[in-house]
Structure 1
Amino acid sequence: MKKSVKVWRTNPTVNNNKVYYFQLSVSYTECEALYQPSLKNVIMTADSGHRVQIPTSRLRPFVTSLGLKGYFRLTISPQNKILLFERLH
């Protein structure tokens, strides 16, 4: 019997920038909270196990009628500024 093993991605750096990967699957109903003025940031756990805080405004463009789903990459500068947040697939 084969055992399934979860492979954790490490937290690579590219040109001194930190890169994090996320698998997100959030329903449309749950995504409604992203539009509440009181919710400015969310904390997500990357595949590497790192917890990263990101502004809700960075997530909103990816919300569809199905919710927020896909595999994402977050690139952060050495000064902890978001350089890129993108859906990979």
Structure 2
Amino acid sequence: MTNITPTDTVYHFNISVPYRMCEALYQNNTPAVVLTADNGLRVQVPTSRLRHFVGSDGVKGSFRMVVDQKNKIKSFERIR
């Protein structure tokens, strides 16, 4: 669990991407994807952060991303 400070920004995402579409996460010309957070904000996330969560059914679940004041990702984790 990441230590969240008052200056951090926390984004929540519900992701459901089928396995056949996950191939794009491994292509060099796709360094990042844009996800829509639960609050409606669009956030650019490096594909390397999502690769860890690819399973036989793709990427599915609820995720949380914590970003510091300098927009550096502190954590990207599945919460459900």
TM range (shorter): over 0.9
- Aligned residue type for 1:75: V
1:41-76 residue CA offsets vs partner (Å, 9 max, x unmatched): 001000000110010000000000100000000000
How many pairs are equivalent?
77
Q: Secondary structure at the match of 1:73?
A: strand
Correspondence list, 1:20-59, <5 A:
20-59=11-50
- Aligned residue type for 1:49: G
Question: Where in structure 1 do 4 or more consecutive aligned residues deviate above 6 Å?
Answer: none
Q: So what's the TM-score if we normalise by structure 1?
A: 0.84
Q: RMSD value over aligned CA atoms?
A: 1.1
Unmatched 5+ stretches in structure 2: none
Correspondent of 1:86 among 74, 77, 80: 77
C-alpha separation in 2, matches of 1:15 and 1:47: 20
Q: Looking at both structures, which has the greater relative contact order when contacts are Cα pairs under 8 Å and sequence separation is at least 6?
A: 2
Correspondent of 2:67 among 71, 76, 88: 76
- Aligned residue type for 2:78: R
Q: Secondary structure at the match of 2:52?
A: helix
C-alpha separation in 2, matches of 1:14 and 1:21: 16
Deviation of 1:14 after TM superposition, in Å, equals 4.1
Q: So what's the TM-score if we normalise by structure 2?
A: 0.93
Q: Confirm whether residue 64 of structure 1 aligns to residue 55 of structure 2.
A: yes
Deviation of 1:15 after TM superposition, in Å, equals 1.9
